[in-house]
Structure 1
Amino acid sequence: MTGFDVGPDVLRAAATAVRRAAEVVRGLELGRVADLAAALPGSAAGGTARELGPQWEDASVRWADGVDSYATALSTSAQAYQAQEDAATDGFGRTGGR
């Protein structure tokens, strides 16, 4: 047998899981690490936290946005594969058992 099998349901489930992961990361508020600077005035750790917070926030937002795009691509693929399967099923049904 040549080719490969694609399960549209598996793609849809993966898209849902990926979207959930993006939601979790967005909820982390990684930028809040910058708040540590107030608790560590004048220290190197405080300065590092002040710089690190915005970088972590930006990176997590970009990651979540990218993952959302990936989830959309998975959903689109699932729809396309499902449409092909439905068309093939319909085509076989019209053969009249010949």
Structure 2
Amino acid sequence: LLFISNNRIAFCSERSIKVTSSTGKLLKVHYKVMIPLEKINRAAASANAKKSTQKYVQIVTEDNFEFWFLGFLNHQRTLKNGSSRQGGDCVGGSPRDLSTLTKREYVELMT
């Protein structure tokens, strides 16, 4: 699940992952990430070259750490609705290219 607010982007995995504790015990935990908006350097959207229905969003932080989010159920609808809320600002008649957005515009687009 991807959560986007005016301050941060947060992710929590739907499925748990298995990790080994310091005592050797096997634990199941949910993978969680929280990225403050001021730490985001850029964001971009892309699709799988072989399967264009698989959409991805890449977020790169100031320290060049990359986060890839995938599995959007309504990726195209989200982009379309975001573009129309921004006064229909489109590139070539299609939703805006996320690579040209500022951090704040990206959050407004995805919420």
TM category, shorter: under 0.3
Name the one with the larger helix percent: 1
Q: Which has the larger radius of gyration?
A: 1
Q: Name the structure, 1 or 2, with higher relative contact order (CA <8 Å, separation 6+).
A: 1
TM-score normalised by the chain length of structure 2: 0.21
TM-score normalised by the chain length of structure 1: 0.23
Name the one with the larger strand percent: 2
